[in-house]
Amino acid sequence: MRMPSFNRSIAISATLAVGLLAPVVALGQEVFRHTVTGEDLKIMETSQPSGRDTEAVRNFLNTGVNPYTEVKEHLAKGEETFLSACSGCHGHFGEGKIGPGLNDSYWTYPKNKTDKGLFETIYGGAQGMMGPHHDLELDEILTVMAWVRHLYTGPVDEADWLTAEQKRTFTRFAQKHKDDDTACSGQTFEHADAANHDVKPEKTAC
């Protein structure tokens, strides 16, 4: 049966609207690439189905900025995942072990100073023993990234992942008891004040 011209016009308009909108949505999402090869990581095709529909993940995929950075309620989860998935190579506090350190201002891959770059290296892997972490949910990776940033001990003005406001309030992480793996348990550790570099004992900011 032939569709009335009025209804056909509505249908055509709706189709055009969807067709025009789809590229806009696609263009709004960041393209994440392998740290070494530059290949498209095809995040939505290769990531775990669970944990990728959170508000934080949607925000990150569109901006490349981790919304969990220095958000206290996500640090404990990030620490837990880091200890089980990353500390064997990078040390309990990111000090480096058989893999490079993650808690100072030197980055093997300079792009890791950005949230997008660090995510690409964690998710897609890099050289040597650094394999991909497709086994982690995207939301878990964001919490791990937040914990890695929390472990930072370098100059605050070089912490490009922090906002101006976060830089004003950030305290560099310095662990007194290197053998203690409960950094988010509320125990007392040494922190260096970002403004005057005085070292003072206080509880972790978890």
Could you tell me the CATH number of the domain that includes residue 165?
1.10.760.10
pLDDT value of residue 204: 44
Asked if residue 105 belongs to a domain, the reply is: yes
Distance in Å from the first CA to the final CA of the chain: 66
Sorted by sequence, the CB contacts under 8 Å of residue 10 that are 6+ apart come out as none
Q: What is the DSSP letter of 101?
A: -
Asked if residue 12 belongs to a domain, the reply is: no
Residue type, 106: Y
89 annotated to a ligand binding site: yes
Asked if residue 64 belongs to a domain, the reply is: yes
Asked if residue 189 belongs to a domain, the reply is: yes
Looking at the 3D structure of the chain, how many domains does it have?
A: 1
184 annotated to a ligand binding site: no
Asked if residue 91 belongs to a domain, the reply is: yes
Asked if residue 9 belongs to a domain, the reply is: no
pLDDT value of residue 198: 43
Is there a contact between 189 and 176 (Cβ–Cβ < 8 Å)? yes
Q: Residue 117's domain spans which residues? A: 31-203
Is there a contact between 35 and 111 (Cβ–Cβ < 8 Å)? yes
pLDDT tens-place values along the chain, 206 residues long: 555 554 445 444 444 443 433 333 344 689 999 999 999 999 999 999 999 899 999 999 999 999 999 999 999 999 999 999 999 999 999 999 999 999 999 999 999 999 999 999 999 998 877 888 999 999 999 999 999 999 999 999 999 999 999 999 998 887 433 444 445 544 334 443 433 434 343 444 44
> Shortest CA distance to 102 belongs to which of 135, 130, 77?
130
191 annotated to a ligand binding site: no
Asked if residue 155 belongs to a domain, the reply is: yes
